């Protein structure tokens, strides 16, 4: 299938009865994605405002493409070399060219298979994206073959929120640790600003310390215009699956992600609301939040995630151990659900034979057609 030009990037198109999605050839970013939710079309994933601009020489490909969700291996900045390996920001999987193996439809399924042979650490990644008619979700499977050693992978989904304070209500499944990044995410001397207290451990998203000695609410966004912050949320590995949800009450839908917490141990919130004033950000990347499911030490990179760090010292996994004798499979789901009027923060997401039920804190319910067993079977 010949790619289409979409927001400045050659992209393969996938469509089902309920989803239209694009996958960029460069970097494998999924976006934009349009969902059918209760007969309406919604496109909640973000696309960076500069993607059709000519950027400065040397700008990483990931920044040129930046949109939707992409698979990172290794996750993070990767400024440090690890055992002779110098990985780009978020790894080759988020920057280099993918090869299309197949794209087609069969029995109500749209299936794309792309692959990449990585060079910094030799091995192969197979990307499978599946859409199912009637399901307003995107199913992803990444198969890591031929690799040996420590690796910190992750997904990097990014949401664009309506330009109204608190327009999105954020909640998660059970957490066992919550912490602000150990240093200021951005520094004024580098033309960047952060609002949260570096290293703060907190008990609730609704009460997080700031640099001013006050508390702020991370469960409602947009907020804190002019600042850039990062926090990590560690999931309870005893749960069958972990989730993150954002409810948009006015638009009457919820966005959610589902994962196996024994594979992707944590979720990193990248709270991006105009706090970067250097190119190409220039203070215009606003109302975006990354809901980034990973096994990593924050956003630092492979070297820090493979070494002793603040998280693994308290028992939080920050890398996987890859073996050439067996492939590592990472399955992941994101999608949307239509909501009744008055639905507030999601309190629970529970599965049944036909999908999942979302229940709000105020007792309202909604349903979504999704095959949760995919997280374990990949099928």
pLDDT in tens, 298-346: 999 999 999 999 999 999 999 999 999 999 999 999 999 999 999 999 9
pLDDT one-digit tens code per residue, 122-156? 999 999 999 999 999 999 999 999 999 999 999 99
Q: Look at residue 235 and tell me whether its pLDDT is greater than 90.
A: yes
Read off the pLDDT of residues 199-210 as tens digits, 9 standing for 90 and up.
999 999 999 999
- List the beta bridge partners of residue 253: 248, 338
Residue range 65-94: average pLDDT?
98
Q: Note down the domain range covering 284.
A: 4-377
Q: Over range 38-53, report the average pLDDT.
A: 96
Whole-model pTM: value is 0.97
- Domain tally, the chain: 1
User: pLDDT at position 351, please?
Assistant: 95
Residue environment code for 334-344, b if the CB has 16+ CB neighbours within 10 A, otherwise e:
bbbbbbeeebe
Average pLDDT, integer, range 94-122: 98
Asked if residue 38 has pLDDT above 90, the reply is: no
Compute the average pLDDT of residues 176-191: 97
Assess contact for 236 and 242: CB atoms under 8 A: yes
Residue 143 pairs in a beta bridge with 126, 329
The domain spanning residue 243 has which CATH number?
A: 2.70.98.10
Instruction: Determine the pLDDT at residue 19.
Output: 98
93 three-state secondary structure: helix
Banded pLDDT at 77 (limits 50, 70, 90): very high
Type and span of the H or E element at 6: strand 4-6
């Amino acid at each position: 299938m010949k790619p289409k030009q979409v927001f400045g990037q050659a992209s393969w198109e996938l469509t089902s009865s309920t989803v239209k999605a694009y996958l960029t050839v460069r970097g494998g970013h999924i976006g934009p994605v349009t969902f059918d939710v209760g007969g309406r079309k919604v496109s909640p994933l973000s696309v960076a405002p500069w993607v059709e601009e000519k950027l400065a020489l040397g700008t990483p490909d990931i920044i040129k493409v930046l949109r939707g969700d992409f698979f990172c291996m290794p996750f993070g900045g990767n400024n440090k070399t690890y055992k002779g390996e110098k990985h780009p920001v978020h790894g080759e999987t988020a920057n280099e060219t993918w090869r299309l193996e197949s794209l087609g439809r069969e029995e109500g399924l749209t299936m794309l298979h792309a692959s990449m042979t990585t060079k910094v650490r030799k091995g192969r990644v197979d990307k499978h994206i599946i859409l199912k008619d009637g399901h307003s979700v995107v199913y992803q499977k990444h198969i890591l073959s031929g690799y040996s050693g420590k690796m910190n992978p992750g997904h990097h989904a990014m949401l664009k929120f309506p330009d109204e304070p608190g327009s999105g209500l954020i909640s998660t499944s059970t957490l066992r640790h919550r912490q602000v990044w150990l240093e200021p995410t951005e520094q004024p001397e580098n033309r960047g600003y952060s609002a949260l207290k570096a290293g703060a451990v907190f008990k609730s998203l609704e009460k997080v310390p700031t640099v001013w000695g006050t508390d702020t609410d991370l469960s409602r966004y947009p907020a804190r215009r002019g600042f850039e912050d990062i926090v990590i949320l560690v999931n309870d590995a005893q749960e069958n699956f972990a989730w993150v949800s954002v409810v948009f009450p006015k638009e009457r839908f919820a966005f959610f992600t589902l994962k196996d917490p024994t594979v992707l141990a944590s979720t990193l919130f990248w709270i991006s609301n105009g706090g970067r004033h250097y190119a190409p950000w220039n203070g215009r990347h606003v109302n975006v939040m990354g809901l980034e499911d990973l096994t990593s030490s924050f956003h630092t990179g492979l070297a820090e995630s493979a070494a002793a760090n603040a998280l693994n010292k308290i028992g939080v996994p920050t890398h996987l151990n890859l073996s050439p004798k067996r492939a590592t499979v990472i399955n992941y789901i994101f999608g949307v659900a239509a909501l009744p009027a008055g639905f507030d923060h999601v309190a629970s997401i529970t599965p049944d034979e036909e999908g999942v039920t979302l229940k709000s804190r105020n007792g309202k319910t909604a349903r979504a057609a999704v095959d949760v067993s995919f997280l374990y079977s990949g099928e």
